Amino acid sequence: MTPEHGDPEDGDLVEAAPECEIPAEVGEAVRTLIRWAGDDPDREGLLDTPRRVAKAWREYARGYAEDPSAHLTRTFDEVGGYDEIVLLKDIPFQSHCEHHMAPIIGKASIAYLPRDRVVGISKLARVLHGFARRLQVQERLTAQVADTIWEHLQPKGVAVIIEATHACMTARGVNTPGVMMTTSRMMGTFREDERSRREVLALMGY
């Protein structure tokens, strides 16, 4: 297997959530919210909504049940002497704002400069999804992805840039759609060396 082609054991990057039993108090909480919002949880169109919402949130919050760093334990050193930047660009993700539990929809570019080992490319996306499937703020999500890669791969450099829209801003409050928030974290040579930083930013399209 070559890391360029990913891990043959990997299926889709985002797997379907397993079936789970819905606790009665969770369903009742959704019914209470529907009632508080001004609707009738017993009308036909809303009868199954508590179950659907609970099941959806079990999927949205799957990241709490995993350790994203576990995806970086299997590495490869047979890379033909390759020692340049490895970049996975424009990875789509979704998360939820911890302040309003509103959707965060965006994309991430993740790069590292290997010291002597690399990981299968899907693993970078899995690290992102593992942290994104939690209640989040974008700044912390960016730092968590970068710090995890830095700690477990021990590369020469790590660069993570995330762009996302936040429904807590676009659909409520200031009601300003079309606004994109950008956060970044540069570590190692990408932070310390301007030439390396310019190179990785150019590869990312910035």
Given the residues 94, 98, 152, 163, the one annotated as active site: 98
Given the residues 71, 96, 129, 166, the one annotated as active site: 166
Given the residues 99, 136, 139, 199, the one annotated as active site: 99
50: nearest Cα among 29, 35, 36, 65: 29
Given the residues 59, 66, 94, 100, the one annotated as active site: 100
Given the residues 71, 96, 97, 129, the one annotated as active site: 97
Our answer to whether residue 5 is catalytic in this structure is: no
Our answer to whether residue 97 is catalytic in this structure is: yes
Spatial contact of 204 and 89, defined as CB atoms under 8 Å apart: yes
Angle between the N-to-C axes of helices 138-153 and 121-132, in degrees from 0 to 180, rounded to the nearest 10: 140
Spatial contact of 21 and 14, defined as CB atoms under 8 Å apart: no
Our answer to whether residue 144 is catalytic in this structure is: no
Given the residues 71, 96, 138, 199, the one annotated as active site: 138
Our answer to whether residue 100 is catalytic in this structure is: yes
98: nearest Cα among 128, 66, 64: 64
Our answer to whether residue 20 is catalytic in this structure is: no
- Collect all residues with Cβ–Cβ distance below 8 Å to 142 and sequence separation of at least 6: 160, 161, 162, 183, 184, 185
- Collect all residues with Cβ–Cβ distance below 8 Å to 55 and sequence separation of at least 6: 17, 20, 22
Identify each DSSP E strand in the chain by its residue range.
86-97, 103-113, 135-136, 157-166, 181-188
Which are the catalytic amino acids? Answer: 97-100, 138, 166, 168
